Chains A and B, each alone.
Chain A
């Protein structure tokens, strides 16, 4: 079994079979993470570069660890300097790195479409670790993986995304992946933070959170970036919190068993309270662990190694 593409650029348009293959493979890797020795050899000899043009802690560390646990050689490169300011084009930077003989590039960049652009410049496999407000496919996959583990399936699940949907790459990847796998998706947030014509995703759009939460299984809460307030997209954190914050009181009021997710980093007290983030419904830390397994699966499948059963192998020494 192999994926139909040699890159992971987005979840839009990725066939169901590919998504299921990644999720199934991730199950095997998830099991490895519970072992005392969490390292397997399939990517031994492969060199992977993590190219982060935007600051990131969680995603970068998660990719690095996933790569190391697959025995790949890894290198991480983080810069907040744009190519324009740096005086070297992105194309030159990546072609120089590729000239050092690398196999895969994990890229995060503030410009939508950069992962696709890299496929035009390089031979390496490209994995999108977040391109502007376009997509963040491994985050979408790990969110879906977490839901699937909890409910045993994705088909028929009702998932609500809350917050700044317009500027969220996580939301886009969630929407495409979930819809392909048969879940129904709704979004809720202030009208100023909803994307233009969002109904055309084939999703329900709400601005009243209590209404939106009715009948929902999973609530995936997105980070509200505080600079959006300065840009005039909502009046204050206080008002945002009152209208869209997920609080224990709200959970009680709607009175249903939700699974609470958040891709992080959280603004505690703004979009989510401690009571919810650390409460029994929260699977936020499981998401992080599962992210490891999902990223290992993606790296493994894109590398196209022939090793039949990854779980039977364990790194010695």
Chain B
């Protein structure tokens, strides 16, 4: 059989299906055509194969393509920050082959046309892109968006991300209505009244700096309310970017009570704390929900370990340097993450012994895929060839000029991280290869 691409000498890690083994992979027509157990692929096959079509994964892990279900691609409306194309290129560099983009674009993804527009752009990009539609029209929390229409156009979930659905009655109806289409409602859980005017977490760090705080309880109350509503309606609830100890605890309890609730955590919430802000007033540390305390950070890690938090998602939120190079409280919240999520997770979780590499991969592949109901391949013959090849031991330094995202707003520039993406294959095509 003639292959398009060979990946040799890698350690295949397929936590969704449940095996880890050394093997070589032959890819053909976007599919995993053959898997050769270690040493079964003859030297003759390799020797006569064009070298540029061989990825030598010696010492590296080959996993199903990573999936990030919380990404802001900014297009349409804020193409100065990111586009579908640049976002997909950043995703590929981060080992990601599928992502979900959030609907807080302009116009918002609250109608079929915008879904079609983004989907069309995504066809020529380096990542599979699934749209999250808005829960309410223009994400204003007043009237339900045409969720049926959105689902027909391909959205895999709904969310007013960036805004909490402040009216509990509206959220109840959203959970009930979305149930009809078996899609999750993703909640950006922060009570707007309690968080109003807050620029960072409310803690002694905000007290010291005199910066207005967003209390942890704003998130906790919001999560608890939504879990109650999910319990009432039987709808599927997904909590985006959990950042508080109380939030983790509420989700844990909700799961124990049988509520259909899932949750994600972003790397910055298990890597950083709010006391860093006072060092340099780095506007790249301004994010919503805000960086919290060490106790919260530990609780997020605990939640990832015990499965309360199902998956890791970047909450990739690009903002231009012009937007961020201002007074701390004038900067828009958010940081990019597509290119650092895997390395931060390896550095902060796997390398520290909190999660095995296999569990980590599961939280970045099959788990997020199951939440939004999108395909996630297994490493078996006949499956789609979405693959991430990474060296979990390799160290690299995050450099601003190497980032592929159109925006460079990350506080991790200059950080030395462990875990490096060597290549990304999406639909049998190499979308990223490290130099």
Point out residues on A near B: beta carbons under 8 Å.
12, 82-84, 89-91, 109, 111-114, 116-117, 120, 131-135, 167, 169, 172, 195-198, 200-201
Contacts and interface: CB of A to CB of B under 8 A. Distances in A.
A113 B327 contact: yes
B48 interface: no
Contacts of A195: 207
Nearest to B326: A89
A197 B209 contact: no
A82 B327 CA distance: 10
A196 B203 contact: yes
Contacts of B207: 195-198, 200-201
Nearest first, the 8 closest Cβ-Cβ pairs linking A and B are: A113-B281, A133-B210, A111-B327, A134-B210, A195-B207, A197-B204, A200-B204, A113-B328
24 contacts: A12-B208, A82-B330, A83-B330, A84-B330, A89-B322, A89-B325, A91-B325, A91-B326, A109-B327, A111-B328, A111-B329, A112-B209, A112-B328, A114-B328, A117-B328, A133-B210, A133-B211, A133-B212, A134-B209, A135-B210, A167-B210, A169-B210, A172-B208, A200-B204
A91 B328 CA distance: 12
B281 A116 contact: yes
Contacts of A12: 208
Interface in B212-233: 212-213, 215
A111 B210 contact: no
B209 A113 contact: yes
A198 B326 CA distance: 29
User: B203, B211, B280, B328 — which one has the most chain A CB atoms within 10 A of its CB?
Assistant: B328
A54 B329 CA distance: 15
Contact of B280 (A91, A116, A132, A134): A116
A83 B203 contact: no
Contacts, number: 67
B79 to A, nearest CB: 21
Interface of B: 202-204, 206-213, 215, 280-281, 322, 325-330
Nearest to B207: A195
Given A89-B325, A116-B280, A117-B281, 12 more contacts: A83-B326, A90-B327, A91-B326, A112-B281, A113-B211, A117-B328, A132-B329, A133-B210, A172-B210, A196-B203, A196-B206, A200-B207
A15 B121 CA distance: 57
A114 B283 CA distance: 11
Contacts of A198: 207
A132 B203 contact: no
Given A113-B281, A197-B204, A132 B326 contact: no
Contacts of B325: 89, 91
A82 B326 CA distance: 11
Contacts of A82: 330
Contact of B327 (A83, A133, A196, A201): A83
A120 to B, nearest CB: 8
Contacts of A117: 281, 327-328
User: B202, B210, B211, B325 — which one has the most chain A CB atoms within 10 A of its CB?
Assistant: B210
Given A116-B280, A116-B281, A197-B204, A134 B327 contact: no
A215 B416 CA distance: 53
A227 B190 CA distance: 26
B333 to A, nearest CB: 15
B335 to A, nearest CB: 17
Contacts of A132: 210-211, 329
Contacts of B203: 196-197
B93 to A, nearest CB: 29
Nearest to B202: A196
